[in-house]
Amino acid sequence: MLRKILTMPKTVLDEESFVAEREDFSVTAEPREEIQGLFKRSLAIRLVTAGSTNACEQELVALSNSYYDAERFGLHFVASPRHADALMVTGPVTRNMREALVKTYEAMPAPKFVIAVGDDAIDGGLFRGSYAVLDGVSNVIPVDFEIPGDPPSPRQIIGALLEILGKLNRKRSKT
């Protein structure tokens, strides 16, 4: 495990990237209209932490602060999978969390989609191959979208969610 940690590529932001990250980004009414068109209300997201290091969760919590304010896009987190349109999963799925993840997925009404957030959720990340994890979420439930990063920033998460909504809207308009 120590060798894995020491040989993992380092993600270091240069000063320009950090400044660009802090810039405010303008938003038109379009994302909210897409969400209302697709879901007839706001997009309800259920979050499942499937054994992560809590790095992704901290970034997701930042989505609700006054700086990022994901609610303005019509994105909000719900406590029950029965009220959710989307399932966000963070962390490599531990053996102990497998059943809970499957039950949460099965409790969601159709249509539903799953988003793996962070490198750990996508393929196991640093913990890939460990006896305690089942690696990525796709080994347990079907994953529709992935948001890479270790962890992805709130800005990357919002951008990816808006991109996902655009893809869903284009897919819906084709049918």
What would the pLDDT profile of 7-37 be if each residue is shown by its tens digit?
776 654 444 544 444 444 444 445 556 555 5
Range of the domain at 151: 29-158
Predicted confidence at residue 106, as pLDDT, reads 96
Predicted confidence at residue 7, as pLDDT, reads 79
Q: Is residue 11 part of a domain?
A: no
Determine the 3-state secondary structure of 122 from DSSP: helix
**Which amino acid would we find at residue 36?**
Q
Helices (H) and strands (E) in the chain, counts: 7, 5
Q: Is residue 166 part of a domain?
A: no
Q: Is residue 1 part of a domain?
A: no
* pLDDT bracket for residue 89 (50, 70, 90): very high
Q: What's the domain count of the chain?
A: 1
Q: Is residue 18 part of a domain?
A: no
Q: Is residue 20 part of a domain?
A: no
Q: Is residue 13 part of a domain?
A: no
Q: Are 101 and 114 in contact (CB under 8 A)?
A: no
Q: Is residue 138 part of a domain?
A: yes
> Is pTM, for the whole model, over 0.75?
yes
Q: Are 121 and 151 in contact (CB under 8 A)?
A: no
- The three-point CA angle 124-127-128 to 5° equals 50
Write down the mean pLDDT value for the chain: 81
Q: What is the CATH number of the domain that holds 102?
A: 3.40.50.12280
* pLDDT bracket for residue 155 (50, 70, 90): confident
pLDDT at 71 over 60: yes
Q: Is residue 168 part of a domain?
A: no
pLDDT tens string 115-141:
999 999 999 888 898 999 998 999 999
CA distances from 5 to 8, 11, 106 (A): 5, 13, 35
